[in-house]
Amino acid sequence: MVAATLTLGAMAQTTPTKHEAKENAKTDVRKLRQDRADRNTAIAHGKLKTAHREQKEIKNERKDLNANKKQLKNKGEALPVTKAKAKA
């Protein structure tokens, strides 16, 4: 029972493969662009509280994208975010 728990804990902490990380980067870039567009629309319509909340979400997604970028760079991928933006 203890061994199974330790094994599951170790498996849960593994990083995604290089291909999965690339796909995650592409979807993160697309989602980030859409969230920025939504935030800008909210600002244009005078919904400042909504825009502020969306800006917080954008900040968190940017952190996730940068973490994904670091994982890809560690796996040998050059310019992962730039490539993801070009494909998005």
User: Sorting pLDDT into bands at 50, 70 and 90, what band is 5?
Assistant: low
Containing domain of residue 53, as a range? 21-87
Could you tell me the CA-to-CA distances from 43 to 47, 48, 50 in Å, in that order? 6, 6, 8
How many structural domains comprise the chain?
Answer: 1
Name the percent of the chain lying above pLDDT 70: 81
- Is 12 within a domain? no
Encoding tokens for residue 29?
């870039």
- Is 35 within a domain? yes
- Is 11 within a domain? no
Threshold 0.75, pTM exceeds: no
Over residues 23-64, the pLDDT tens digits come to 888 888 899 999 999 999 999 999 999 999 999 999 998 998
Give the model's pLDDT for residue 48: 94
- Is 4 within a domain? no
Residue 16 has pLDDT above 70, yes or no: no
